[in-house]
Structure 1
Amino acid sequence: MGSRLPRENRISGSDGLTLELIGEPARQPSAPRRAPLLFIHGAFAGAWVWQYNYLPYFAGLGYDAFALSLRGHGASEGRDRLATTTLKDYVNDLKSVAAQFERPPILIGHSMGGLVVDMALSSRVNASAAVLLAAVPPTGMGPAAMHTMLSDPAMIWQMFLLQSMGPSWVDPQCVQRAIFADPPERELVLEYFGQSQSESQLALSELAIPYWPCSSLGQVPVGVVGAEKDAIVLPWMVSTTAWFHGVEPYWIPGAGHATMLEDGWIHGAEIVTKCLGTLG
C-alpha cells in the first residue's frame, strides 16, 4: 500500500483479522512528499479519537494522516477475543499494518498506544520515526495507579465500571476530570464517552509491569510529548520516557491526558508538529 487511503477503510491485520484504518489524504502535498502519519489510540478507545481534530489538521499540513483501530476496538474485528488479547497482539497488528505502507510511516502513539509503538520499534516495525504522546512509560503504570487510588479513589471505581459494565455506567463528570484539563462542550464529552469501550484485561494488567525495550534505541528518531496537566500519565513519567530515549520532552501547556479531544486541541497539535519537525 502507498500512503493513499485504503478502500472502505479496511486493512488486513495479523492473525487473519480485518482492521479499521481511517484517514485523510494530504490537502497540500509537500515537495518532497512527507512520510505518512499513522496514529495509534490508547486504552478504551479507537481510531475515532483522532478523527475529530488531528487527522484533518495534519492533512492540512501536507501529511497523509491515518488512524488505526487495534483489534477489538472501533470497527476492527476481534471484539469476541478481546478478553484474551495481549499487548503483543496489538504490536503485531501495528507491525502488520505498517508493513503495508510503501513509505515507512511516522508512528504517533497515545497512552497505551505509545507503549505499543515503543514495543513495535524494538521488534523492527516498518517506521521512519515515532512520537510518543502522553505514552505509558517503560516503568509501567503501577506507580500512577497507586497515586490515583490514593488521590482520587472515585476514578478507580469509574474505571472498574467502564471495564466491567460499559460506558453507559460511567459518570462522565468524574471521568472527564481525569482525562481533560480543558474539557470540550458537554455534548461532545457525552459523544466521546459513548464511543469508549471495555479494554483487554490482560493488556491492562501488562501496562502495570515495567517494560524496557532496550533494542529500540537508535533505530529511528523518537520524539516524546507530554501534557502539562495530565492526571494519568504524570509529568515525571513523560520525563522518564524521554530520558530513556535520550531526548528532551516537549510539553503541551495546560493540557490533560486526552489532549487530542480537548477544547484547546490545536495547542497539542502544534506541539506535535514542532516535534515532527525535529525528526527528519
Structure 2
Amino acid sequence: MNTNNFSQRISGTTEQPELEILNFPASKLNKPYPLLFIHCFSGGAWMFAENYASFFNHQGYDVFALNLRGHGQSQGKETVNQASLQDYFQDVVRAIKFVKSLTETYPVVIGHSIGSILTRLYIQDYELPGAILMSFGDVKTAFSAFMIWSMKNFPVKSLKMMISGKSEKMYGHFEPHFRILFTKTDNRLKLKPFVQRFVEQPESDRVFQDVQQLPPIQRGTGKTPVAIIVGDRDPIAPKKSVEILADLYQSSPVFIANKAHDLFVCDGWEQGADEILKWLEKNHL
C-alpha cells in the first residue's frame, strides 16, 4: 500500500459538505497532468490507495483520489442516504477545481462504475485532458442486464431491493458484493476485508434510483479523449453495453480477461493499471 500520501480538505459551505481528497505526490514528477480517481458505489478513495497510487507515482504522476460526500473522511455520513446523483456530481466538479488550483492544470479523470457515470456527466459539459471510464457501459443497457443478473443469482435479495428501493437489501450482504466485484478464481480469504469495507459503507438509495432514471448522457464537444476499460466478466458492464458506450465516444474498449467489477485490489490489478498507462502514453498525457 502507498504510504506517501496525505489527506487534504476541500472546504465546505452551508450547502456543500467538506470533502476529503487523498493526494499522492510523485517523488519525481515528470508528467504534464495529474490523475484524479473517482470511486464507485459503496467504495472510497482507499481503493486506489492500495495499488494504483503507488504504480502511477512511480511513473511520474501526481495522484489524487476523492471521497464523495459521506465516504471516507468526507462530511455527510449522516445524510448520505438522501444524497442525489447531482450532489455527487457537484463533489466531482469541486474536486476537479481543487486539483486545478493546486497543480495549475486540469487532471485526467479516471472514474470507476458510478465514478464513470459522474465523469461522463462532466465531459458532457466541460473538457478535460483525458477521461478514463472503467467498469461501466451504456447506462440503460448495463443496468437492465445487471438487474437480470441479480435476479438470476440472488432472487430474494434482488426482489427485496426492488420492492423496498433500498440498495442495502442486496449490497448490505457479503456474497452479492463479492460476486459483483470478483470472479470465482479470486482469493476469497484475501479479499474478504476489502469486500467488508464495501458492505459497511453507507450509501445513497436516491443515487441508485437516480441512475435508473438518468436521461441519455450526451457525448459533449467530443474534444476530451476517452478510454474505456472493463473486466470481461463484469456483471455491471456486459459487452453489449460497453460497445454502445465505445461507439458514442468513438473509442476502442479494452476488456481485461477474467476480471469482474473490481480492477484495483484483486490479484492481477496490474493489468488494468498497465492499460491505463499505455493509453496515457499513447495520448501524450
State the TM bucket, normalised to the shorter chain: 0.7 to 0.9
Q: Give the match for residue 112 of structure 1.
A: 114
Q: 1:268 aligns with which of 259, 272, 279?
A: 272
- How many percent identity over aligned positions? 26
Q: Give the match for residue 126 of structure 2.
A: 124
Equivalent position amino acid for 2:45 in 1: A
Equivalent position amino acid for 1:41 in 2: H
Quote the Cα distance in structure 2 between the aligned partners of 1:129 and 1:59.
18
Decide whether the 8 Å contact of 2:67 with 2:74 is kept in 1: yes
SS of residue paired to 1:262: coil
1:29 and 2:29 equivalent?
Answer: yes
The alpha-carbon deviation at position 124 of structure 1 amounts to 2.0
SS of residue paired to 1:269: helix
Kindly report which structure 2 residues correspond to 1:207-246, keeping only aligned pairs within 5 A, or say none: 207-214=211-218, 216-246=220-250
Q: Give the match for residue 142 of structure 1.
A: 143
Alignment TM-score, normalising by the size of structure 1: 0.86
Describe the shift of the 1:19–1:228 C-alpha distance in structure 2 as closer, same or farther (beyond 3 A).
same
Quote the Cα distance in structure 1 between the aligned partners of 2:105 and 2:267.
33
Q: 1:188 aligns with which of 181, 186, 191?
A: 191
Q: 1:96 aligns with which of 94, 97, 111?
A: 94
Equivalent position amino acid for 1:131 in 2: I
The alpha-carbon deviation at position 39 of structure 1 amounts to 0.2
Equivalent position amino acid for 1:264 in 2: G
Describe the shift of the 1:156–1:132 C-alpha distance in structure 2 as closer, same or farther (beyond 3 A).
farther
Quote the Cα distance in structure 2 between the aligned partners of 1:45 and 1:174.
15
Q: Deviations over 1:63-96 (max 9, x none)?
A: 1011101111121111222122111111111111
1:19 and 2:25 equivalent?
Answer: no
Q: Deviations over 1:119-169 (max 9, x none)?
A: 0112326x32100011252436431233213421258449949944797x6
SS of residue paired to 2:259: coil
Quote the Cα distance in structure 1 between the aligned partners of 2:159 and 2:279.
33
Q: Give the match for residue 44 of structure 2.
A: 46
Quote the Cα distance in structure 2 between the aligned partners of 1:17 and 1:24.
23
Unaligned runs of 5+ in 1: none
- CA RMSD, Structure 1 to Structure 2 (Å): 2.7
Give aligned pairs, total: 271
Alignment TM-score, normalising by the size of structure 2: 0.84
The alpha-carbon deviation at position 13 of structure 1 amounts to 5.4
Describe the shift of the 1:118–1:156 C-alpha distance in structure 2 as closer, same or farther (beyond 3 A).
farther
Equivalent position amino acid for 2:149 in 1: T
